[in-house]
Structure 1
Amino acid sequence: MIRIKKFVFLILCFIQFGVTFSQSTEILGKVTASSDIDRIHVINKTAHKFTITNDNGEFLISASVNDTILISAIQYKPLEMVMTTQIIQSKFVAIDLTDKITELDEVVVGKILTGDLLSDIENSEVKRELNFYDLGIPGYTGKQKTQSERRLHEATSGGGLVPLTPILNWLSGRTKKLKGQIVRENNDNAMREVMSDLSEMLFDIDNLEESKRVEFFYFVTDDPNFLPLSKLDNDIKMLEFLQQKLKEFKSQIEDD
C-alpha cells in the first residue's frame, strides 16, 4: 500500500513538473546598453511572439521554458537567449547589449584644418554645385517628382480658356493610366523598404522558403491596406499585418 502511494505521488509530481515546464508566463525584461534602449525588437522565435522595448528599455513577452528569445537592434549585436526554469520562475530577465562596431577604412588627411570654418572651406577643394539662384532663374525647391509624377502633372495641366490637354488625356484614359503607374511605383518603393527592414525578423518568426519570398511581398502589396499602413512608420503594426498575410499566402499555396 505504501509503495502504491509513493508511486501515485511520483506520478503527480511529474504531472505538476510537466505543467510548469510547458506553461507560458509573462516575462518582464530590462535591456541595458550604451545608448538608445527604446524600440529594440524582442522576438520569441519559438512561440512566434514579438514586442519592442519602451523608453526605459523594458518589455513584456510571453515565454515558456526552453523558448528562444532574440533581441535585435541595428546599433547592437543580436543576442539570443534560452528561457531557463529560473527565469520563468522569477518572471524577470536582464539583458546587456553590446555595440555593433563597424571598422572604417584608414582615413588620409590632406590639407591641414585650422579650425576657422570659412578659411577651411576656402582652402578645401570642395566646390558647391551651381543652382538656379546662382544663374538668376526661377526654380523648384520642393520634393523632386518622379518621371511618372511629372508626366501626370503635364497630362492634367494646360492653359487657355478651355484647357484641352487635360480633357483629351482624361477621355483617352492616359490620366488614369498614369495615376495607376504612380500607385504601383509607390507600392514597389514601400515594398522594398519593408523587405529591407522587416523580412529577416518576419521569417525568423515564421519561416518561408526563400524562392517564395519575393512572390509573397508582391502578394502583400495587392492588399489595399498595405500602402496606407506603410506610411504610418509603425513596425509592430506592419509586422502583425505581414504575419497575417503570410498565413493567407501559405494557405493559398496549399490550396493551389
Structure 2
Amino acid sequence: MNRKLNGKVTSSFSDLEGIYLINNRSKENTLTEHGGYFSIQASVGDTLVFSSVQFKAAKVALSEADFNKELFFVKLYPIVRFLDDVRINEYKNINAVSLGIISPNTKHYTPAERKLKTAEELHWYSPLLIPFGGMSVDGLINSISGRTSMLKKELEVEKKELLIHKLEGWFEKKYFIENLKIPEEYVKGFLFYLVEDPKFNAAMKSKNKTMATFIMNDLAVKYKQLLNDK
C-alpha cells in the first residue's frame, strides 16, 4: 500500500536542492526542494535511489519504522574529485604595466625607499605646519630630520641585504667554503664584508658576474687574513 513519505536529505554540503530520487518499484520520481526536503509515494520494502552530480548515489530500502517517523532523513556523501595534474602558467609579460593599470614610467619603491620618501616630503612641508602638542616648528623639523637620517641608514641596510640576496642566487654556499676556503661559520659575515666594498658593489649592480667573481677572490684573501689576525 502506497503512502506519502516525507523526508529530508542531509550532507556536509549546504546546496541540497534539485537532488533526483526515484522509487525503484513504482518508478515515481521527484526532486528535493530547498533545504533537501522531499515527499514521495512509497510502500514498505520499496527502494529509493538518490543521485546527483555532486553526491555519491545512495539506495535506501524502506521499513515500517521509516513511515512512522515525522521526517525520514537520508544522509548523502559528496563526491571528492582529485585532479591528476595541475599546471600553473606564468605569464611574465602580464603585469600592472601591460594591463594599463599603472604607467610604465612609474618608479617602484622598496619598503625602505617608500618610508624615506614620505619622511622627506613631510620635512619639505614642515615649515607650513602649525605647531601642535606644545612642540615648536623647529622641534618638529628636528624630529623629522632625525627620522629622515634614521631612514636613510635603514635604506642603506636594505640595499646591502638585497645585494646579499642576489649574491646568494649567483653562488651556492659550498662555493664560498670549497672554492674560496671561507670557514662555514664565517660565510655570512663574508657576504656582508663583500657588499661593503665599493668596487664589488658596482660590479654587482652592473650584473658583471665575471668582475664580481674576480674582486670576490681578492677580497676572500683579505677576509681570511682578518680572521687570522684575530
**TM-score, normalising length: structure 2:** 0.45
Greater relative contact order, per chain length (Cα 8 Å cut-off, separation 6+): 1
Instruction: Provide TM-score, normalisation by structure 1.
Output: 0.41
